[in-house]
Each structure stands twice: as C-alpha cells, then as structure tokens.
Amino acid sequence: MTSLRIAVLPGDGIGPEVCAEAVRVLQALNLDLELHTADVGGRAIKTQGTALPESALRMAQDADAILFGAVGTPEFDKDPKASVRPEQAILGLRKALDLFANLRPVRTFDALTDASPLKPEIVRGVDLIILRELTAGAYFGKPQGQFGAPPERYAVDTTHYTEAEVRRLLIMGFELARARKKKLTQADKANVMATGRLWRAVAHELREEYPDVDYEDMYADACAMHLLRAPRHFDIIATENLFGDILSDEAAMLAGSMGMLPSASLGDTLNRHGYRRGLYEPIHGAAHDIAGQGVANPLAMILSAAMMLRWSFGMHAQAERVERAVEQALNDGYRCRDIATHGARVVGTREMTDAVIARL
C-alpha cells in the first residue's frame, strides 16, 4: 500500500497546538503515515523572510494532502502597506495548487445545541455546506493596493471572475447537492455587481443539466439573514470567495463555535492515491489571545483531518470513525472553553483529543 504522504504546515498562534492533536488522532488509526513538516506564515517570515518558503511550497506540491493549522500574527497587521504578510502563506498555497473549491460543512451536533448563541429550535439538525470559490474574486483580482499620500490616499480591490472559474465551482456545487439533499443555493450580489450577474447566468445554464437538483438564487445579504432565521433551509450554498469567507464565519455560530468548523480545499489534480489533492484546515484562524495556553479547541482541526481521509484518500469508514468519536466525546460531556455552557466539564486541548482517541 502507498503511504499517506501528508505535508503538515502548523503555522502561527494555536495552529501548532491543534495540528499536533490532529496528527495524534491519525496516528491512533494505525495508518501508514509519511509526515513532512514546514514553517509557514509569520513564523516563516521571521526566520526566512517569506510567508511561504519555496521548500514548504514544494513539500505541499509533493504531498498527497496538506494539513494546515492557521496563519496570522498581530504585529504584521500594523503596516497597511507591508508587502510581506503571514496570510500570503495560505493564499499562495490555494493559488499555486489551484485549490479552487473550499468546502465548509456546518453541522450542529445535538450535544452542542446549547453552545450556540441562537435558540436550540433554530440550530437543531443543521447540516449544510458552504462551498466557497477560493482562487479568484477580490482576493486575487488586479489591480489591488493602496496608492497616493494623505490626504488623498486611495485603495483598490478588483473582483474578477472568468466564466470557467465560476463554472467549475458551480459544477462542484451541483454534484455535491446531488449526493446529498439535492438542494443548491447560489448566493451573489447580482443586483449590484457584474460578477454576480455572471455567476447567475452560468448557474442558470448549468441547472438545465441537473434537473434533479432544486436550485435557487439568493442575494448574499439575504442569505446572511436566512442563515440565522432558518438555517435548516439550506443544503449547499455556493458562492464567490469574499462572500464565502463572511458567510462561513457567520455559519460557524450555528455549530456553537469557530472551534468546531473544519474545511477542505480541493482542486482537480489527483494525488498518488487517485483522489483529489487537498488542503485541510480549521476555519478558526491563529487566535493569538489563547495561543500557548493549552485551551484551544482541537475539534475543528481533527474534523479537518477526517475530511482529508474522506476526500484525499477515499477512507470513508476511517473518516466516519473519527467523526463518530468526536460526537461521542461531546455526548459524554467533554467541552473546551469555547463550547462550554454552564456546568460543563471543561477540558484542555490535549484532554479533548484524548477523549476522542479513547472513543475511536
């Protein structure tokens, strides 16, 4: 059997802590792992002057899958014109590996309905996926930058989409919907933006090929509202890069905490196992305020590793084993600080992982 060659890129803040726990869970499954680790983000800027060193990029390109922690360091946020930033690590990887489809599943575990700031009757049974375009739009459009001098500074971002970029993401959306609850919502701002009208036009062409999928258009702002009002309405929400970034943080609160949401970023390239090469990361970010204290919730990272087993290695049974162990640990009352309600049994990063491993 070919080994599972995984590039582990822990990054900054709580990234290294949660990455180490996901690796422990993978090791507990007795898989033939081949792990390679490299520094990226603020950490790499300090030692190597760049957020995504050439050697780390090559390691990612050679791997079957990538486990990514988080990047971002407050000290780099001070200079608006800084040309070297920690976030360039993740943006660079997405672009270089053409990981155009970002899957962010939002599922409310029964045990956590109380952890959400929303009413239990609203969040109970939520099971949706935000499918975010990841390699174009305002994140990569040119021109981009800040120009001029005070008091006449100005800044420009460009939202740019080609038909091909929109189509491949929407095809992924229709296919995902077909394999699930057969419902696809496309969120755009077609009432204001030309790119939104292109998304809508391409979606309307494609829907003819998927008559079994219940398709709807929705303005992204209305989508933000309906996500809180009636989240069970949704199955797959397909949307452009920037809206997907915002809607997925919002949707995280349906699951109780940002510390619960995994993600998979997929391209069309196949790995040595014949599955899509992908990058797997929690959506929560570096969270420097709690870094190094051993209190970070490792579940989003552990659930990201489960997504990796499913999407990049076709190991569906193993993926479900991890997901069930997470659910069982929650059912048994284990809570990290971010999802703890009154009277809960609060545990740290390591103990939470131990609880999951014990239930595999």
Q: Any idea what DSSP says for residue 172?
A: H
Closest to ligand IPM by CB, 137 vs 256, is 137
Active site residue 245: yes
Four-residue CA torsion sign, 118, 282, 303, 359: negative
DSSP string, 50-113: SSS-HHHHHHHHHSSEEEEEE---GGGGS-TT-S--TTHHHHHHHHHTT--EEEEEEE--GGGT
Helices 241-252 and 220-229 pack at an angle, to 10 degrees, of: 10
188 catalytically annotated: no
Q: What is the DSSP letter of 344?
A: -
Contact 281, 97 (CB under 8 A): no
Q: Whole-angstrom Cα distance, residue 339 to residue 297?
A: 8
- Our finding on whether 283 is near ligand IPM (CB under 6 A) is yes
**Is 273:310 a contact under the CB 8 Å cutoff?**
no
Least distance in angstroms from the C-beta of 282 to Mg ion: 11
- How deeply is 56 buried, as exposed, middle or buried, from its count of CB atoms within 10 A (0-12, 13-18, 19+)? buried
Residue owning tokens 């069309």: 268
The 143-182 site mask, x for binding ligand IPM (CB under 6 A), equals: ----------------------------------------
**245 is a contact residue toward Mg ion (CB under 5 A):** yes
Q: What angle do CA 101, 220, 125 make, to 5 degrees?
A: 75
d(CA 205, CA 207): 6
Work out whether 90 is an interface residue with ligand IPM (CB under 6 A): yes
The answer to whether residue 87 forms part of the interface with ligand IPM (CB under 6 A) is yes
Q: Is 189 known to be catalytic?
A: yes
Confirm or reject binding of residue 103 to ligand IPM (CB under 6 A). no
Q: Verify whether residue 334 is a known catalytic residue.
A: no
**Ramachandran area for residue 195 (φ above 0: left; ψ -120 to 50: alpha; else beta):** alpha
Stretch touching ligand IPM by CB under 6 A, among 85-93, 208-216, 225-233, 322-330: 85-93
Query: Which position among 188, 189, 215, 334 bears the catalytic label?
Result: 189
Name the catalytic one among 77, 79, 221, 268: 221
Report what 325 binds from ligand IPM, Mg ion, none; CB cut-off 5-8 Å by kind: none
Shortest Å distance, C-beta 265 to Mg ion? 12
Kindly tell me the number of DSSP H helices and DSSP E strands found in the chain: 12, 14
Q: Which residue from 10, 72, 137, 231 is in contact with ligand IPM, where contact means CB under 6 A?
A: 72
Of the listed pieces 13-21, 47-55, 87-95, 168-176, which binds ligand IPM according to CB under 6 A?
87-95
The one catalytic residue in 12, 245, 275, 280 is 245
Q: In this complex, which beta carbon is closest to ligand IPM, that of residue 72 or of residue 262?
A: 72
Q: Is 281 in the site for Mg ion (CB under 5 A)?
A: no
Selected catalytic residue, list 98, 214, 217, 249: 249
* Residue 133 Cβ vs Mg ion, minimum distance, rounded to whole Å: 13
12 sits near ligand IPM (criterion: CB under 6 A): no
Q: Which residues are catalytic?
A: 139, 189, 221, 245, 249
Judged by the rule CB under 6 A, the positions of this chain that interact with ligand IPM are 72, 87, 90-91, 245, 283, 285
